[in-house]
Structures are given as C-alpha cells and as structure tokens.
Chains A and B, each alone.
Chain A
Amino acid sequence: MKLTDRRVQAVAGLLLVGVLIAAPLGLKPHGIYLLSMWAVMSIAAIGLNLTLGYAGQISLAQAAFVGIGAYCSAILTTSYGWPFGAAFVMAALLCFVIGWLLGYPALRVQHHYLAFVTLAFTTLVFLVLRNEEWLTKGIYGISGINRPNLFGWSTKAPRDFYYFCLIVLAGVSWFTWRLVRSPWGRAFMALRENPVRASSLGVDTRRYTLMAFAIGSALGGVAGALYAPLVEFIDPTPFALSLSLNLLLMVIVGGSGYFFGPFLGAIVSVLLPEWLRFTDGLYLIIYAVFVMALMVVCPAGLLGLVEKIFKPLSKSGKAAP
C-alpha cells in the first residue's frame, strides 16, 4: 500500500469530503466559524504548497496575497457595490498578476535570499494596508462586509457560509489536483529538484517559475476573498508577517509537496490550538513542542511520516546518487 496509489488517495479524499459535510451539524457557531477558517487557510496553504512544495520557490509573501485578496473583495463589494462573484474573480486575478511580478526576483535569487525578498514584500503590503487610509481605511479597518447571496442562496448563516467555503475549497482542490498531475506539475517539480537539468530538457524555467508564483498567489487571493466575508471585518493586523510564517508552518508540518499536506497543516494551525484551549496558558508550549518533535522525527511533515510508515521497508525512497 502506497500513499501515491491513486485509489488510496481517492478513498481518502471521499472520506474527507463526507466528514467535512457532516462536521458542522453538531457544532455551535464558533465551531463552524473555525471550520470555515480552516477551509480558507487550507486554500491559502494549497497555494503556498504549489509555489514552495512543488516548485521549490520559498515564499514568505502568502499573507500579503491573502491580505490583497481580502481588501480587494472588501473594497469592491462595500465601496463600489460590486457583486461578490465579480470581486472574488478580481481578487484572484489581481493576486495572479502581482504574484507573477513577484516571481521575477525568484529568477535571480533562491532559497533564503528569496525568503527575504518575499518577506520584504509582505512588510510592504502590510504598510500599504495600514497607511494608505484613502484606500484601506488604515487601522480602523473595513466593516460591514456582507456575506454573499449566490443565485438566491444566502450564505449569511455560519453553516451556509461554511458550505460555500467548502465548495470553493473543493474547486481549488480539483484544480490543484489536476495541475500537479499535468505536465505543468511535472515541470514545477523539475524546477524544484534540478533547474539546470530541467532547462536542458526544454523546460522554460523562467516561465514556469513565474507561473508557480502567480498561481500560488492567486490561490492566496481566493483565500483572502473568502476571509473578508467570513470575518465580516478586516484590518491590517491579520495579514502581517506572522500569517506568512503560519502558512509556511502549515505547508511544512502537513508535508511540503504532498497534495493533502496543506489540509492537515491547516488543521494543526487553525484547529489544534482550539482543542488545546483547556490547557490554558500551556497551549502554546504544548503546540511548540509538538511541532518541534514532528520536525525532528519527520522533517517531511505529517504526510511524510505516514508515507514512511506505510512504505515497505525494503525500498528506500531517497538513496544517495
């Protein structure tokens, strides 16, 4: 039994969908809110997993794209009266374009240098959100963001909005599933593993690098466009660097480069802290110890751990060349 087996993945996927649909039935509004937040953060993490996990381009800019997406959809729906659907598409498009542009530095610098470039970008966006009051209302934030009415279906109630988030998550998952299995996904992985060799095989590394950034960022924008109506109020604080680090944590803990990694990572990051609430002040310590232990035991993340367990012992995955 291998995790890469399509049937195993399909069964796991179906099981997951069943649980997700049934999940809010016994929950209070706060619980449903958290589940929705999990879905939103999963989408952002899926985007980062594409850029980082598959294409190997480290980015600390994902929070900035969630922020751009959130502000874009909030401003367009509240100040300009755009329908949510149009604002949603606009948020994704805007992040796609900005993500494409942010990809250019990645053509020159890699690894920790790239991390710093993207870190600077997150800080820059945060400053714009906080200081450009004419556009973003600064630290006062934007309130009165309504949850959308979609083809006569009001998503005002928490459970309805949760299902809406779930539908978007399903769409994003399908798109990503398809993408990572297409030649593009293969080219992304080639970029991660050996860009020089990839280029010698005709892979246009420049174009694929930019695309990896653009698509990953667009998914950050999609998450943001859902975040705004979920919380119904946005200010710059949640889109600071700490969210970027958090999203990075989700990708790494879940299993960077694994399709289901971001879903698990978002559970650890969004839901686990709530479950640890009974420990009062100890929760951050327990949480930190858990993450550290995981990274020591299995640097490939939770799914790396699962794969290690299920893999026949005779075959080693990474032998030295």
Chain B
Amino acid sequence: MNPVLEVRGLYKSFGGISAVENVSFEVHEGEILGIIGPNGSGKSTLFNCILGQLKPTAGDVHVDGRSVTGLRPCDLNRLGVSRTFQLLQVFPQLSVRENLILAGQEHQGSMWTRLVGACDAGLTEAANRMIDFFRLVHVAEEKAGGLSYGQQKLLDAAMAFMAGPRLVLLDEPAGGVNLTMLADLRERLRAINQEQKATFVVIEHNMEFVMSLCTRILVLAEGRIIAAGTPAEVRNNPEVIEAYLGH
C-alpha cells in the first residue's frame, strides 16, 4: 500500500540560504508523525513546500502515490489534504459556524451548485457536529474575531477537519494554548485520528504534547533530518540533545 504522504529529496532555498535540504520521509495511514526541531530549522518551510504554498527548489511530494508537486493549495485541499497554520488563521468577521461551513463548502458540488444551491451548502449539521465536538456551542453565533485565543485555536483545528480530510498537517497546534485546553485538544486529535482514520503530521515545540501524541518523530535541524524514531528513541538521541542545547 502506498504511504499517505511521501516526500522525496525535498530542497528549498531562499537566495543562498537553504531552508530545507534533502528531506525524505513517509507517513503511513493512521500515523501521527511529529516534526520537532529548534526555531529556524525549516519545519514550517517544509510544510509550505508540501502544501503548495511554496514551490520546492527540488524534490517530489506524493499523496497516496500520486505526485502533487506544484499543485495549488486549494487543489491539494480538495484531494483531502488539510492544514492549520502556526499563527492563527480564522476569518474574524464570519461567525464560528460560517467559518466551518466555509471550510467544507468547496468540497460539496460544483461552482454552479454553490451559486444556486442552498446557502449553507447543506453543511449546517456537519458544522454543528464539529462545534459540539470542539465544545464551541456557546460561541457558535459569535464572530470568530471575538473569541479568546484558545477558542480560536480550537476553531482553527476544527476547520481543518471539517471536510473529513485524509491527511492533516498541524503547525504548532499547542502554541499559546493553556494546559487544560491542551489536554482537551490532544484528546480531540486522538479521537479524530482513530474514528476517521485520519493521518496527522504535527509540528510542535511543546515536547510533552508531542511525545504523548505522536507515534513517530522526525527531528529537523538546519533543514536536515538528524534523527527519526519513536518518542523514546528520539528523546535519548545524543544528536538531538546537542541540536537543542547547542554546542
């Protein structure tokens, strides 16, 4: 069986600086792969190259065995690849429910049916289920911009799952989220991973969060993979310790 995501020999340079250097890895169905590394190690750039936000200098990206290198983010999303961003990215002037409907509507029907069909593209129920699942019921009608940071973070994640994606790339889902909400978020992510057979790739600085959530971890430093393995293996790897402590 093909891996859900396969990255082969990916390079990305900005001028003379190479942000990602010869990165190759695979992610299999149902896995939760963590990507860790110091700031500036190329994690987000790697995400942006995989997702078509940036054009890789060299290398290939395959989703379910199909080459997706060079596809636009919207095309990739419609193939079932979804993401969250490091910095909050909700639509502040739309209500929570509208944000979620938007996140699903482009997966329904055609341009034409979206013009003449139902206003909610038949997604109100699905949006409400997502609102329930992420415990946003009391703010469902509020404009997203008025929510607290933690709530927006949950909404951001909920939007990524709205269309029932096959693969989700989460860029620092735990950043700035308090401890209670963090446990909650981890529990939601695990539930979706198990119930929907969704595959995750997670960039995260919060070690406790990453170690407890992920099944496998890649360590990036200066654009290259320096270690890979289970959380326990990675934790005890001297190279990883060195990259983090710096010598």
Contacts and interface: CB of A to CB of B under 8 A. Distances in A.
B101 interface: yes
B115 A193 contact: no
B74 A199 contact: yes
A201 B77 contact: yes
Contacts of A318: 92-93, 143, 145-146
A184 B116 CA distance: 9
A310 to B, nearest CB: 15
Interface stretch (A13-21, A89-97, A175-183): A175-183
Interface string A252-265: 00000100000000
B145 A319 contact: yes
B66 interface: no
A145 to B, nearest CB: 33
B93 A193 contact: yes
A199 B72 contact: yes
Contact of A190 (B91, B111, B117, B163): B91
Contacts of B142: 315
A52 to B, nearest CB: 15
A152 interface: no
Nearest to A186: B102
B94 A201 contact: no
Interface string B142-165: 110111010010000001001100
B203 to A, nearest CB: 15
Interface string B2-27: 00000000000000000000000000
Contacts, number: 108
Nearest to A319: B146
B88 interface: yes
Contacts of A315: 142, 146
B105 A187 contact: yes
B172 interface: no
A182 B112 CA distance: 11
Interface stretch (A203-211, A228-236, A242-250): A203-211
A197 interface: yes
Interface in A153-199: 179, 181-184, 186-187, 189-190, 193-194, 196-199
Nearest to B149: A321
B167 to A, nearest CB: 13
B73 A317 contact: no
Judged by DSSP, the binding face of A is helix
B109 to A, nearest CB: 9
A79 interface: no
A249 to B, nearest CB: 22
A22 B105 CA distance: 42
Given A186-B105, A193-B91, A181 B111 contact: no
Given A183-B121, A316-B146, A190 B102 contact: yes
B107 interface: yes
A321 B92 contact: yes
Nearest to B106: A202
A317 B105 contact: no
A202 B107 contact: yes
Q: Can you list the 4 inter-chain pairs with the closest CB atoms, starting with the nearest?
A: A202-B106, A202-B77, A183-B114, A197-B89
18 contacts: A181-B119, A182-B115, A183-B101, A187-B102, A187-B106, A189-B93, A194-B89, A194-B90, A198-B91, A200-B74, A200-B89, A201-B163, A204-B106, A206-B72, A207-B111, A257-B93, A317-B143, A321-B88
Given A183-B105, A317-B143, A321-B152, 19 more contacts: A181-B119, A182-B119, A183-B101, A183-B119, A187-B114, A189-B91, A194-B90, A197-B90, A199-B77, A200-B74, A201-B159, A202-B106, A204-B72, A204-B74, A205-B74, A318-B146, A319-B146, A319-B147, A321-B92
